[in-house]
Structure 1
Amino acid sequence: MNFDAFENPQTKRFQRKVTLLSAGGTFLDGFDLTVIAVALPLITHEWDIGLGEKSLVTSSAIIGSFIGAALLGNLTDRFGRKAMYVVDLLAFVIFAALTAFSQDVWQLIIFRFLLGIGIGADYPISATLVSEFASKKGRGKLSTSLGAMWFVGAAAAYLVGLAVAPMGDFAWRALLLVGAVFALIVFILRVQLPESPRWLIAHGRVDDAANVVEKITGVRPTAAEIAEDTGPKKMPLSTLFVGRQRNRTLFVCGFWFCYSTAYYGISMYTPTILAPFTDGSQVSVIVGSGIVALLGLAGSLIGMNLVDSWGRRPLIITSFAGLTLALIVLASVVGPSFGFLIVLFSVAVLFANSGGGILNFVYPTELFPTALRATGSGLATSVSRIGSILGVLAFPNLVAAWGNNAALWVFAAVGASGLVICLFMAPETKNRSLEDINAEEGVAHV
Structure 2
Amino acid sequence: MAYDYLDNPANPEKLRKFQRKVKIVSAGGTFLDGFDLTIIAVAMPLILKQWDIMPIEQSLLVASAIIGSFIGAAWLGSLTDTFGRKAMITIDLLAFVLFAILTAVAPNVLWLIAFRFLLGIGIGADYPISATLVAEFSSTKNRGKQGTFLAAMWFVGAVVAYISGLVLAPLGDHAWRYMFLLGAIMAIIIFIFRIGLPESPRWLASKGREKEAEKIIYELTGNVVEVKPEPSQEKVKISALFSQKFIKRTIFVSGFWFCYATSYYGISMYTPTILSAFTGGSLQLTYIASSIVSILGLGGAIIGMNLVDRWGRRPLLITSFTGLTAGLSVLAFNPNPTLTFLVVLFSIAVLFANMGGGILNFVYPTELFPTSIRAGASGFATSVSRIGSILGVLVFPNVVAVWGNAAALGVFAVVALTGLIITISLAPETKGRRLEEINPETH
Q: Same fold, TM exceeding 0.5?
A: yes
Deviations 1:299-343 (A, max 9, x none): 000000000000000000000000000000000012100010000
* 1:40 corresponds to: 44
Deviations 1:323-376 (A, max 9, x none): 000000000012100010000000000000000000000000000110000000
* 2:344 corresponds to: 343
Paired residues of 1:201 and 1:230 also in contact (CA < 8 A): no
Deviations 1:85-138 (A, max 9, x none): 101100000000100011100000000000000000000000000000000000
1:238, distance to aligned residue in structure 2 (A): 2.0
1:445 and 2:411 aligned: no
Measure, in 2, the Cα distance between the counterparts of 1:397 and 1:228: 54
* 1:123 corresponds to: 127
Q: How does 1:171-186 map to 2 (within 5 A)?
A: 171-186=175-190
* 1:242 corresponds to: 243
Measure, in 2, the Cα distance between the counterparts of 1:305 and 1:340: 28
Measure, in 2, the Cα distance between the counterparts of 1:324 and 1:355: 13
Paired residues of 1:19 and 1:130 also in contact (CA < 8 A): yes
Q: How does 1:161-310 map to 2 (within 5 A)?
A: 161-221=165-225, 225-227=226-228, 229=230, 233-310=234-311
**What is the identity, as a one-letter code, of the residue corresponding to 2:442?**
H
Determine helix, strand or coil for the equivalent of 1:277: coil
Measure, in 1, the Cα distance between the counterparts of 2:55 and 2:351: 29
Measure, in 1, the Cα distance between the counterparts of 2:228 and 2:403: 64
Q: How does 1:371-390 map to 2 (within 5 A)?
A: 371-390=372-391
1:170, distance to aligned residue in structure 2 (A): 1.2
Measure, in 2, the Cα distance between the counterparts of 1:226 and 1:369: 16
1:50, distance to aligned residue in structure 2 (A): 1.8
Deviations 1:154-192 (A, max 9, x none): 000000111101101111000010000000011111011
Paired residues of 2:208 and 2:229 also in contact (CA < 8 A): no
Determine helix, strand or coil for the equivalent of 1:227: coil
Paired residues of 2:206 and 2:234 also in contact (CA < 8 A): yes
1:233, distance to aligned residue in structure 2 (A): 2.5
C-alpha RMSD over aligned residues: 1.0
**What is the identity, as a one-letter code, of the residue corresponding to 2:108?**
D
Measure, in 1, the Cα distance between the counterparts of 2:5 and 2:18: 13
Measure, in 2, the Cα distance between the counterparts of 1:227 and 1:3: 11
Measure, in 2, the Cα distance between the counterparts of 1:218 and 1:435: 22
Higher mean alpha-carbon deviation, 253-262 vs 185-194, is at: 185-194
Higher mean alpha-carbon deviation, 25-34 vs 237-246, is at: 237-246
**What is the identity, as a one-letter code, of the residue corresponding to 2:16?**
K
Identity of aligned residues (%): 63
**What is the identity, as a one-letter code, of the residue corresponding to 2:367?**
E
Deviations 1:356-399 (A, max 9, x none): 00000000000011000000000000000000000000000100
* 1:137 corresponds to: 141
Determine helix, strand or coil for the equivalent of 2:174: helix
1:2 and 2:2 aligned: yes
Paired residues of 1:204 and 1:231 also in contact (CA < 8 A): no
Give 2:82's match in structure 1, choosing from 78, 87, 93.
78
Measure, in 1, the Cα distance between the counterparts of 2:381 and 2:48: 33
Measure, in 1, the Cα distance between the counterparts of 2:350 and 2:287: 16
Unaligned runs of at least 5 residues, structure 1: none
1:230, distance to aligned residue in structure 2 (A): 7.0
Paired residues of 2:317 and 2:423 also in contact (CA < 8 A): yes
Determine helix, strand or coil for the equivalent of 1:226: coil
**What is the identity, as a one-letter code, of the residue corresponding to 2:4?**
D
Paired residues of 2:213 and 2:227 also in contact (CA < 8 A): no
Measure, in 2, the Cα distance between the counterparts of 1:132 and 1:287: 39
Determine helix, strand or coil for the equivalent of 2:173: helix
1:228, distance to aligned residue in structure 2 (A): 5.7
* 2:97 corresponds to: 93
**What is the identity, as a one-letter code, of the residue corresponding to 1:5?**
Y
Determine helix, strand or coil for the equivalent of 1:137: helix
Measure, in 2, the Cα distance between the counterparts of 1:165 and 1:230: 57
Deviations 1:234-281 (A, max 9, x none): 422221111231100000000000000000000000000000111110
Paired residues of 2:368 and 2:439 also in contact (CA < 8 A): yes
Measure, in 2, the Cα distance between the counterparts of 1:424 and 1:2: 34
**What is the identity, as a one-letter code, of the residue corresponding to 1:30?**
G
* 1:60 corresponds to: 64
Give 1:26's match in structure 2, choosing from 30, 33, 37.
30
Measure, in 2, the Cα distance between the counterparts of 1:153 and 1:408: 25
Measure, in 1, the Cα distance between the counterparts of 2:266 and 2:395: 8
Measure, in 1, the Cα distance between the counterparts of 2:18 and 2:201: 14
Paired residues of 1:367 and 1:438 also in contact (CA < 8 A): yes
Unaligned runs of at least 5 residues, structure 2: none
Paired residues of 1:319 and 1:351 also in contact (CA < 8 A): yes
